[in-house]
Amino acid sequence: MGSADSDIVFQSYGRCCNNKSFFIDFYDRFMGSSEAVRALFKNTDMPAQRHLLRNGIMQLVLHARGMPATKLKALGESHSRKGYNIRPEWYGLWLESLLVTLRKHDPQFDDDTALAWRRAIEPGIELIRGAY
């Protein structure tokens, strides 16, 4: 991953993450993508969860910029079979929901931005998924 990717991603996220409706739209999309995913958030305080995800995505972006993986390792633990039991195949839905929501909210989003996001955050996602 070149640092050019992480610059594109950092700026793209900056255009999205201060808008509360970005996170509302993300979870609408993500929970709409599968009955099993919706069931996982049945008892979740969604306003709090949206706030936590704002930081979680930032951790993925910072990891792409060379930050140590400490916070992502903790997410790997909490999402593992000992924790929320998040099955590895669900991360694909998560990433696709994120990209659709970015395309909707970032006025400068294009195919290069999408590729930069994929390349930048896939290692961090892999770290969380791999802890299963």
Binding positions for ligand HEM, rule: CB under 6 A:
37, 40-41, 44, 49, 52-53, 55-57, 60, 75, 78-79, 84, 86, 90-91, 94, 125, 128
Question: What would the DSSP string read from start to end of 6-58?
Answer: HHHHHHHHHHHTT-HHHHHHHHHHHHHT-HHHHHHTTT--HHHHHHHHHHHHH
Smallest separation, CB 113 to ligand HEM (Å): 19
Smallest separation, CB 90 to ligand HEM (Å): 4
For residue 54, give both structure tokens: 């704002």
Smallest separation, CB 40 to ligand HEM (Å): 4
